[in-house]
Amino acid sequence: MAKIVVEQIPVLADNYVTLVHEPNSGATAAVDPGVSEPVLERLAAKGWQLTHILNTHHHGDHTGGNLDLIRRTGCVVVGAAKDSERIPGLSIEVAEGDTFLLGGAAAMVLEVPGHTSGHIAFWFPDSHVLFAGDCLFSLGCGRLFEGSAEDMWASLKKLRELPADTQVYCAHEYTAGNGRFARLVERDNQALLTRLEQVEKLRARGLPTIPTTIADERAANPFLRADTKSVAKAVGMEPGADPALVFAELRRRKDVF
């Protein structure tokens, strides 16, 4: 199966739109285009034709460019069937376990509710690339707008099980802020301290901290570690506490951090 090439475009205050290009067929997708102009500019610079939009969820900072991109490129929009009323221009409705082709590259749909009820992630198994939208961030996770802590914990566990070397593209550059909270939770976690040093260096040079990897997030992201003794202890719970409850308390504390 064909491998993909990825281009990350910083837009708005802290969003990333990512272009996914399959070179054999020329198929090209924009993941979560919150705006259209910077996407069209990058497409022109690369000489790529937009064929698809992939939306992880309906929020405006992820879908705001849909209609203009459809009008100007004729691309199709792939998104959750559950959000057919909320994603502008949605034409290919997908659900858990569905696989579709971006040219010769297979993409699998994972339902990851919690941030919104219809949130999905896109997993490219032949390239080990994940588009996590606003579910999983580096050193953090999305806010619970339409789901319970249990939903989000289950969604994060699903993503955590992907191969360790998976490159994770999140939709926001929130890593430094997330890191300040994570450090309060696990101040002795060496993987976290290493990641924080790396993040500081990257941001000082104005560079993205994304993509991250599943391995790094398993080791350093407190929200993926709600079933560890150290994170349970950090939120004042017993070592054997229900991880969903630990996760809920962690998310509550981050909300007011």
Cα separation, 175 vs 212, whole angstroms: 10
Q: Which is nearer to Zn ion, 134 or 217 (CB)?
A: 134
Q: Which phi and psi angles does 17 have, rounded to 5°?
A: -100, 140
Dump the DSSP string for 72-134. Answer: HH--EEEEEGGGTTTSTT--EEE-TT-EEEETTEEEEEEE--SSSTT-EEEEETTTTEEEEET
Q: Which is nearer to Fe ion, 152 or 231 (CB)?
A: 152
173 binds Fe ion (CB under 5 A): no
- Single-letter residue type at 177: G
Q: Is 119 a catalytic residue?
A: no
Q: Is 151 a catalytic residue?
A: no
Q: Is 172 a catalytic residue?
A: yes
Alpha helices in the chain (DSSP H): 37-46, 60-63, 66-73, 149-160, 175-185, 190-204, 214-220, 229-234, 243-255
* CB burial of residue 165 (10 Å; 0-12, 13-18, 19+): exposed
217 binds Zn ion (CB under 5 A): no
172 binds Zn ion (CB under 5 A): no
83 binds Fe ion (CB under 5 A): no
| Per-residue contact string for residues 129-148; x = within reach of Zn ion by CB under 5 A | -----x--------------
Hey, which residues between 230 and 249 contact Zn ion (CB under 5 A)? none
* CB burial of residue 120 (10 Å; 0-12, 13-18, 19+): buried
32 binds Fe ion (CB under 5 A): no
| Per-residue contact string for residues 114-153; x = within reach of Fe ion by CB under 5 A | --------------------x-------------------
Q: Which is nearer to Zn ion, 134 or 186 (CB)?
A: 134
When CB distances are held under 5 to 8 angstroms depending on the partner's kind, the choice from Zn ion, Fe ion, none that residue 83 binds is none
Q: Is 59 a catalytic residue?
A: yes
Q: Which is nearer to Fe ion, 133 or 222 (CB)?
A: 133
CB of 59 to Zn ion, least distance (A): 4
Residue from the set 21, 52, 58, 59 that interacts with Zn ion by CB under 5 A: 59
* CB burial of residue 10 (10 Å; 0-12, 13-18, 19+): middle
# of chain residues touching Zn ion (CB under 5 A): 2
The residues annotated as belonging to the active site are 57, 59, 61-62, 115, 134, 172
